[in-house]
Amino acid sequence: MLQIPFSDVTIEPGTVISWSLHTRRSPHDAHGGGNSPTESAPCTSASFTSASFNQDKHHSSSEATRSTSDGIASSITVTFEIAGPPDTAALEGAMLLLVRRHEVLRSRFRRLAGDLNCTALAPDSIALEAEVVGHFHSGDDLHIHLDKTFKSIDTLSWPLFLMGAVVREDGATVYLCFDHIVCDGLSMPVVVNELQTSYAALSAGRTPELPPAASYLTFADDQRRRYAALGPDDDRLRYWKDFIRGNGGLFPRFPFDLGVPEGDLYPLVNRAFPLLDSHRTEALAAGARASGGSVFTAVLSAAATAQHRFGGPGVYRGLLPISERTDEGRHGTAPNPWPHSVGWFVNTMPIEFRVGEGGTDHATTIARARAAYGELQRHTEVPFVRAWELLAPESFALHHWPYPVNFFSYIDFRRTPGGPQHPLWKPMLHVWAARGNGISHWFHRTATGLHVNMLHVDTPQAHEIGDALHDELVRVLREIAGERDSVPVPIPRPSRERPTVRS
């Protein structure tokens, strides 16, 4: 799965079919449903449950900026290919099964006594309604239509995702666009794997066989119940407090000036770069193993070294998104219930380690990054939003991070559900955000190698710094891979998001 801007995607023209959710009367419910999730719409027996801390903060930010010009809208979209003459009935059945299987996709949210709560409509109350949007003869016209569609997602409206397909005689491009409140990046391979599996079965007249998937609503409600009463003096916040003492605050600043006055938000530029091909990535993995690390710790240490060489500090401090799907401590000896679930299973944690002397001692830096990450993993229990609220209350009311933050993310998509089939399915992940105040890097590994997707403010300084760091980063990665005298790396021409089409 490649993570790139949607502006970089070429989709072959065809007929666009969209499927929208609506409710119908449930045979187990005495009240009628209707066409929208109203108070009389059928719900699960669980009634209202607590939203997660991530969901609450995201929702409150959307509420706070609804009538402002801050424009913090965002979405997560996945596209993938279906080969052969498409069976639209089977595709619709696969999409309906996806929605009925994952409670979070049937959720609606509302505030009760200040807290964000949610409930899921009953599975058998959900139906899909297909609409033939039209046939697109031009790739540009199709792109404009889909781009506008993906940017119409609204955190405060139901449903919280869109789905459809561009259908052709010999195949189809399927798309699903989500608000972050119902999913994370690792949910996208889950969605693709599930839809492809269900579609293959249904088009062959078989019943789909899917692995168990626990509900994110259960995860979220449990999280709120466990940490709602957490106080600032709780010992579980010790790791955060130690980081704050060394950092001088909760958020680790990006170490270079991006030309953004504090408190301002700017339009964001979305760029994607290849870093290493598959052969060089294997060499990087071998170099990392020789230092006792992995590709993840090699990329993390390379990012720290590149910043240091560019004039940054000798101690790397950053924020990392950490998957909560593999929190084995919560489940004891029971099987992990979350790998095939859809939801926002992400905590965000700080990390710090010193760069090797002179910025060239890669083995030492990798070892320090590995040790720092090991320490981090022992303290992932407290949700980031809760730590922010307790330890930096002066900035918690903000609907965005207070200044540019050093943000690092890494995913090996080959190891996600359906990963071995990605070269055939051609899934692509498209993260979009309208405005921000900093720079974010999403590193990811696929069958074709190592890549990075970068979102940053649209300022001359951010472009210059982004290009220079990319150049140095690739040089460091090649050094770790054993290329000691690598030639300067050419900077790919940046790809800019196309402007939003306004109706």
CA distance 289 to 291: 5
| pLDDT at res. 335 | 77
| pLDDT at res. 278 | 98
CB 441: neighbour CB atoms within 10 A?
Answer: 22
CA distance 398 to 61: 8
Q: Stretch 385-406: mean pLDDT, rounded?
A: 96
What domains, with CATH codes, occur in the chain?
2-220 (3.30.559.10), 230-480 (3.30.559.30)
Cβ–Cβ < 8 Å for 4, 188: no
As a whole-number percent, the residues of the chain with pLDDT over 70 amount to 89
Q: Stretch 83-93: mean pLDDT, rounded?
A: 97
pLDDT > 70? residue 494: no
Q: How confident is the model at residue 66 (pLDDT cuts 50, 70, 90)?
A: confident
Q: In what order do the strands lie in the sheet with 439-446?
A: 346-354, 315-323, 407-412, 439-446, 449-457, 266-277, 435-436
Q: How confident is the model at residue 486 (pLDDT cuts 50, 70, 90)?
A: low
CA-to-CA dists, residue 139 to 14, 122, 147, 151, 293, angstroms: 9, 39, 12, 18, 44
Question: Strand pairing of 2-3 and 428-433?
Answer: parallel
CA distance 258 to 260: 6
Cβ–Cβ < 8 Å for 176, 203: no
Q: Stretch 371-400: mean pLDDT, rounded?
A: 96
Q: How confident is the model at residue 47 (pLDDT cuts 50, 70, 90)?
A: low
| pLDDT at res. 73 | 85
Q: Stretch 383-400: mean pLDDT, rounded?
A: 96
